[in-house]
Amino acid sequence: MTASATPCFATEGLTKRFPRVTALDDLTVAAGTGVTGLVGANGAGKSTLIKILLGLLPPTSGRASVLGLDTAGQGPEIRRAVGYMPEHDCLPPDMSATEFVVHMAQMSGLPRTAARERAADTLRHVGLDEERYRPMGGYSTGMRQRVKLAQALVHDPKLVFLDEPTNGLDPQGRDEMLALIRRVGTEFGISVLVTSHLLGELERVCDHVIVIDGGRLLRSSAIREFTRAEQTIAVEVEEGQQRLAERLTAGGETVAAQGRLLTVQVSADDPGRTYDAVRDAVCDLGLSLLRLEQRRGRIEDIFKESTAKEPVA
Amino acid sequence: MTPEPTAVIHDIGYRHYDGVRLGRGRATLALGVQSLRGVFGLGRTIRAKIMPLLLVAIMLMPTVVSIGVMALAKQRVMPYPGYAVFMQAVIAIFLAAQSPYLVAPDLRFRVLPLYLSRPLTVTDYVLAKLTALAVALFGLLAVPLTIQFVGELLVDLPGPPHTADYLGALGGAVLYAVLLSTVGIALASFTPRRGLGVASVIAFYMFTAAVSGLFYAVLRMSGHDSAAPWALLLNPFFLVDSVQSALFGTAPSTGDGYPPGIASCLILLAVIALAVTGVLLRYRKAAS
């Protein structure tokens, strides 16, 4: 876990039952600072978890805390320190982005002049230029998502909850939004809890990923932990693949052939050694190198394995 | 040689906010002020300004006429306490046109979750909206009354000025503001569609006014003279007028008076309590 002294949020045996469904089932999980991804299919309980963490929905049983504050008794204090970007559309069409974000800053307790400054700053950071003075009714989905993000950041929270921020965006808009989320987590120094039903897009921006399904915890781990273990390099040479493989194996590397490619497992304790060995072997054998690239194991595959191994009721 | 640059633009990146953070009360006040401005179309599009400003202008017309007559004919035209009853249709249209504006967009465009993810509570939100509409309605009544009173003082009619009537009418204006704003918001908040909200508020006024008039006439004709005044209380404007005359001793705006004042007061309180409870329940449900 990447947690610092107080985790960004933590739950303990958290259960939420609605009359017809159990949204969260005995969920115990914690996340530290940085960008945390919350992954699950639609209806897995992601939005319910966010509502409980905001102190807006009482859990059926169990407890939760955000930034060291208890959701049961300190909801207002939590909501003062966090930002929330809902999944659904939430922008009145006849207001401009500037008016709207200024208003939302005031609702978070900023005085009017400070609200104006912060709104202008935040809208600039999320990448909204001249169009911020136009009514939001005419905005594209990408622009609307940016305004929604801006209103969650305008009061400079310590932590933001982003509920499906890439929903409805085209691939380019998705990339831009993900880059923006990464910036919020690193450059802005604001911790992020971002939900998605797509694991693949979260692996690019998160430090830590939590996977839930049917309200239960499937897995919670830092991205580094398993991407490191899974790191391999792919090597392709014109001729002499066999010789190269033998030479590397003799040197103590784990090598596998995949068609015309050789994949070499990067040594976990001394990654430099593997790269050096590949370079030296290619040089010494006088082979012509066509390709040498890093391959990161996709966490999606790992989660597929883990879900296959541990059947969930 | 190029001159040395005198100013440089730095990208200072993201800056944290370490200024003041005001409490819930100030956020509620800011919401109330923004809503109040919006009721009169301030900070909104030109189209949104037309209706409220037109209605304000109509509300001021009797005042202008009244001052004119006082100045020229040295005669009082319109008594202060009966002003709201006299202008009830205009006030009802104002209420119907503006109360949905305050609540419907936040429901329809789902802005409410954004308010509630901040320190503001459902009660703060409802309080801000009710107060904004109440202050707007009070202003709509108090401004013409005050202008007329200042006019009366300046014209200097024979006899003492009608200060007690004026103050009684201002007290009545507070009652009108509270009753009408709670009823207006209660009716408008049940639908996220602004048009339906307008229709439901105006229908409520027309229905109560018609039923009240009808019952009154029927009871009168069938000889139930003592029961007839109770029918008047179905109309919210006559209800407040009766409370106003009970509390501030103003003359009733109808010929033959109202049922006992205590009954009117209790009915008024009950209606306000019912409307406020309805709004709060509605928003508790909308919030979850």
Model confidence pLDDT, tens digit, residues A128-172 = 988 999 999 999 999 999 999 999 999 999 999 999 999 999 989
B84 near B165, Cβ under 8 Å? Answer: no
* B13-34: average pLDDT: 94
Tell me if B22 and A109 make a contact (CB, 8 A cut-off).
yes
Q: Residue B25: closest CA among chain A residues belongs to which residue?
A: A109
Cα three-residue angle A113-A118-A119, rounded to 5 degrees: 95
Residue count (chain A): 313
Q: Please give, rounded to a whole number of angstroms, the shortest distance from the CA of A95 to a CA of chain B.
A: 8
B27 interfacial to chain A (CB closer than 8 Å): yes
Per-residue pLDDT band for A4 (boundaries 50, 70, 90) equals very low
A127 near A19, Cβ under 8 Å? Answer: no
* B2-25: average pLDDT: 80
Kindly report, residue by residue over B124-157, the tens digit of the pLDDT: 999 999 999 999 999 999 999 999 999 999 988 8
Q: Please give, rounded to a whole number of angstroms, the shortest distance from the CA of B128 to a CA of chain A.
A: 12
Token reading at A205: 């921006």
pLDDT at residue number A299: 54
Residues of B with Cβ-Cβ distance to A118 under 8 angstroms: 17
Task: Please name which of A56, A135, A150 lies closest in space to residue A105, comparing C-alpha atoms.
Answer: A150
Residues of A with Cβ-Cβ distance to B44 under 8 angstroms: 94
pTM of the model: 0.84
B207 interfacial to chain A (CB closer than 8 Å): no
pLDDT at residue number B180: 98
ipTM value for the complex: 0.89
B273 near B263, Cβ under 8 Å? Answer: no
A184 near A158, Cβ under 8 Å? Answer: no
Per-residue pLDDT band for B267 (boundaries 50, 70, 90) equals very high
Tell me if B17 and A151 make a contact (CB, 8 A cut-off).
no
Kindly report, residue by residue over A182-202, the tens digit of the pLDDT: 999 999 999 999 999 887 788
pLDDT averaged over chain A?
87
Tell me if B118 and A114 make a contact (CB, 8 A cut-off).
no
pLDDT at residue number A2: 42
Kindly report, residue by residue over B58-100, the tens digit of the pLDDT: 999 999 999 999 999 888 888 999 999 999 999 999 999 999 9
- Specify the DSSP class assigned to residue A157: -
